[in-house]
Amino acid sequence: MLATLLLFILGLQPLHDAGFRGEGLTVAVIDDGFYHADDPDVFDTDRIIAYYDLLHDSLRQADMFSDPACRHGTYCLSTMLYDSPDFTGTAPDADYILIRTEDDYHEAPYEVHNLIQGLLLADSLGADIISVSLGYFAFDDTTFNYTYDDLNGMSELSRTATDIARRGRLVCVAAGNSGNAPWHYIYLPADAEDILTVGAVDSAGFIAPFSSFGPTSDGRIKPEVCAWGRQTWLYDPTRYNADTGTYGALFRGNGTSFACPEVAGMAACIWQAYPHLNAAQLRDIIIRSADSYPSPDNQRGYGVPDAARACALAEQLLDLPATDADAPAHKRIHNGQLLIHRAGTDYDLLGRPQPVSALAPALPTTTRTSTPAWDAGGSPANRHLMATP
């Protein structure tokens, strides 16, 4: 049951059984480091197609795979890529780009800048999905702390996440772990628009008390969805395994950090099965598949998504008349909105017909890009990590 419990909670088992395990999709994971993630005895390292270290600290030049203090990223990666008889992640056949931006030893604004650069790098490398289990509200120098008013989606960091989402990437961000603290709100960039902010529940679907919640200061529901983040299963390369007499074992951990990549991996499986979806449609059906839709609150959002229900919603988006579906499609802008013009009808990015009107000239047609190979070494990557004891 352990091997498939996560898949059961997210309704993913039927997709995995049908062979949809994320193949052909690229997920970028932005975190603090990935200790032993390059070990082929742990992960299918052929699936790690690129890695890059954006943390430049001359005092700590440990490689991003060799600093045991920087394994939060390995925990997050294991929720998707780990694949053994004991436990299966949500997208073990996807490809992965690993990016380190976080410094485990300091809390400073330069980490925010690093994350902005990491998001832009992931976008430039062609990642389809970006998973971010980092967030910011408090720093060592408290004069830089954010306030609740800053949770309006308008910071440079949050606007970067939104811009990348609107360019066709699915951006998933952990909500934060301050739900039972004086600051109980989400962190930046979880306040961004058009992303999926992910909170944490236990295996029965009840909200984890540490899971941060909204609303944003401008009144938007946050998080959008939740996944298993309380006592969920993770792989730790530093934990002693009594069965093998070596280090490296599964354990139970807490954090919205781990709920976030679970949803990112689920999204990869859905997108593999329904490649006609764009990122806005994918985000929409994940939200509408959740168990509290359409009645959200600011702790669970719309609830826990279900991959099987999301697939049923994706099928509905296929139900255009054949003559429309086969007709050439052109992108147009009208009143600031991107529309798809096909066979005399305008559709928004969720596939909903729009009133016909005079439109601006068509934009060039674009498709999802493949990810080029990239290989780089590194140096070392807290409170900003979305894990909790």
Q: Which two tokens stand for residue 308?
A: 């099987």
- Give the pLDDT confidence of 202-252 residue by residue, as tens digits: 999 999 999 999 999 999 999 999 999 999 999 999 999 988 888 999 999
Residues 388, 109 contacting (CB under 8 angstroms)? no
At residue 114, the 3 state secondary structure works out as: helix
In a domain, 299, yes or no: yes
Name the residue with tokens 């074992």: 249
Whether residue 328 has a cis bond before it, omega within 30° of 0: no
Q: What's the burial of 45, exposed, middle or buried (CB within 10 Å: 0-12/13-18/19+)?
A: middle
DSSP H/E element including 3: helix 2-9
**Which of these, 295, 278, 294, lies nearest to 366 by C-alpha position?**
278
User: Could you list the pLDDT tens digit for every one of the 389 residues in the chain?
Assistant: 566 789 999 999 999 999 999 999 999 999 999 999 999 999 999 999 999 999 865 444 468 899 999 999 999 999 999 999 999 999 999 999 999 999 988 899 999 999 999 999 999 999 999 999 999 999 999 999 999 999 999 999 999 999 999 999 999 999 999 999 999 999 999 999 999 999 999 999 999 999 999 999 999 999 999 999 999 999 999 999 988 888 999 999 999 999 999 999 999 999 999 999 999 999 999 999 999 999 999 999 999 999 999 999 998 887 644 434 444 455 555 555 556 666 667 766 566 777 654 333 333 333 343 333 333 333 323 435 666 55
Angle between helices 109-124 and 156-166 (to 10 degrees): 10
Report pTM: 0.83
Beta-strand ranges (E) seen in 312-355 are 329-334, 337-342, 345-347, 353-354
Distance in angstroms (rounded) separating the CA atoms of residues 166 and 381: 29
Residues 379, 101 contacting (CB under 8 angstroms)? no
Q: What's the domain range around 155?
A: 2-315
Q: Which two tokens stand for residue 120?
A: 């832009």
Residue 247: count of CB within 10 angstroms of its CB: 13
- Give the pLDDT confidence of 164-185 residue by residue, as tens digits: 999 999 999 999 999 999 999 9
In a domain, 384, yes or no: no
In a domain, 50, yes or no: yes
In a domain, 107, yes or no: yes
Beta bridge partners of 330: 341
Q: Which two tokens stand for residue 66?
A: 């060799």
Q: How many domains does the chain have?
A: 1
| Domain CATH for 67 | 3.40.50.200
List CB contacts of 42: < 8 A, sequence separation 6 or more. Answer: 36, 82, 235, 237, 248
Residues 207, 199 contacting (CB under 8 angstroms)? yes
Residues 362, 330 contacting (CB under 8 angstroms)? yes
In a domain, 336, yes or no: no
Name the residue with tokens 């992303």: 195
